[in-house]
Amino acid sequence: MSTWNCPPAYPHNSRTGTRVARPDARSTTRCTSRQPSPCTPRRLTPPASPTAESPDPLLTTEVVMKRSSSPVAVTTMARRRRAGLMTAAAISVGALALGGCGTSAASSGSSGGSASSGHSTGSGNAAALQLVTPGTLTVGIAAIYPPYTFLKPGTKTPTGFEIDVTNAIAAKLGLKPSYANVAFSSLIPGVESKRFDVATTGIGDTAVREKQDAFIDYEQSHPALLVAKKSVASIHGLADLCGRSVAVVKGSQPEPIIQAQAAKCTREGKAKLNILLYPDHPTAVLAVQSGRADATSADLATVAYQAKQLSNQFVFVDAKTPSSPLGFVASKQNPALQNALLNALKTLYSNDTMKKIYTKWGVPQMLLPAPGINLATKQ
């Protein structure tokens, strides 16, 4: 048996039928002619580029945010196996210093709360739920949207009223909640690729989204305007946005409403409503803070919270549009998990846990009268 030192890649000798080493002083591996080659180079596949335009970016793009010392690094990732390796290209965007609102990679997930043995789903039922990790409810969140989901100041621990609800549901199901903090646009793709069991962060249920995913709804909300104080004297609602610049998160609940208002301004011969699209809400708020936009639009709870936190800069203006349902996103191919979540929510409604959670966060009006599945097409 012949033995030699070989570099990480070496050619094949067609005459002897053995692999021949190339001398390389940088790195060598002890090899023999009987060994399968440990030196064969692996072909690396570059990550696929995200779709530039899409009817709903939540359905197409997968992005993970990493924590950095100042700016938020947004990293586009190839879809990976459950325990796969990351290949990424970082793109810096402006960070926003909101009280209690940070960004974090946390892609490995963080646990919140503990499972309650008194409400276990049982081994048979747990298997039927088709969880990413047995015994764990893996939840995708975008923890930069207070008071829905955000990070406790100075930590990577998620908090918010949707975190409280998720922890209570996991306890009812006898599961341990584990949170993966990603970009908002990664939430639905993460469920579809089986990276998460569910996703939550004020995700609006729409007829378009119901074609691909299931929504377990229990909240309701409608867009509001976060207006710079210098502009508030002339902005009292959507009709006042003609001739203004408005920052909106691409794929968010307010985007089609602001788009419709822009079309109305044009149709009525009024000044153009300039829409600035951003990947996340903190960046949209930063556009208003820097003067690039006069206002930004997000759901009512987020805008009310931030107007209170940053009252020296912003004013809350209710857009007074119809409310729509919000809730967990789950796989359409997993009815067992959908029903388990719905039944747990019904229990939390009946024992007043939901009422207590939403009263604690000052948003009791957001609760639907009763939870349901895919309510956007049932109303």
What is the structure's pLDDT at 232?
80
- 309 shares its domain with 256: yes
Buried b or exposed e, range 47-85, using 16+ CB within 10 angstroms? beeeeeeeebbbbbbbbbbbeeeeebbbbbbeeeeeeee
User: Could you report the per-residue pLDDT of 292-344, keeping only the tens digit for each?
Assistant: 999 999 999 999 999 999 999 999 999 888 899 999 999 999 999 999 999 99
Looking at 283, 318, 353, which one is the last position of a domain?
318
Our count of domains for the chain comes to 3
Co-location of 77 and 196 in the same domain: yes
Tell me, yes or no, whether 290 and 355 share the same domain. no
* Average pLDDT score over residue span 134-142: 98
37 within some domain: no
Per the CB < 8 A criterion, the answer to whether 349 and 370 are in contact is yes
> For all residues of the chain together, what is the average pLDDT?
77
**Span 348-379, pLDDT tens digits:** 999 999 999 999 998 999 999 999 999 999 86
User: What is the structure's pLDDT at 376?
Assistant: 95
Same domain, residue pair 211 and 139: yes
In a domain, 40, yes or no: no
- Shared domain for 302 and 337, answered yes or no, is no
Q: In this structure, are strands 144-145 and 176-181 parallel, antiparallel, or unpaired? A: unpaired
Residues 209 and 354 in one domain: yes
Total-model pTM? 0.66
220-271 per-position pLDDT tens digit: 999 999 999 988 888 999 999 999 999 999 888 899 999 999 999 999 999 9
Is the domain of 185 the same as that of 70? yes
Does residue 38 belong to any structural domain of this protein?
no
314 and 334 within one domain: no
* Domain assignment of residue 330, given as a range: 58-221+324-377
**Higher-pLDDT residue of 104, 251:** 251
Alpha-carbon dihedral angle through residues 249, 253, 259, 260, given to the nearest 10 degrees:
-170
Residues 93 and 179 in one domain: yes
pLDDT above 80 for 159:
yes
Same domain assignment for residues 101 and 235? no
In a shared domain, residues 242 and 216? no
- Phi, psi of 239, deg, nearest 5: -60, -20
Same domain, 311 and 335: no
Domain presence at residue 354:
yes
Q: Does the residue 172 lie in any domain?
A: yes
Query: Residue 277: what residue type?
Result: L
Question: If pLDDT is split at 50, 70 and 90, which confidence band does 110 have?
Answer: low
What is the C-alpha to C-alpha distance for residues 45 and 58, in angstroms, rounded to an integer? 24
* DSSP code for 49: P
Please check whether residue 252 lies inside any domain of the structure: yes
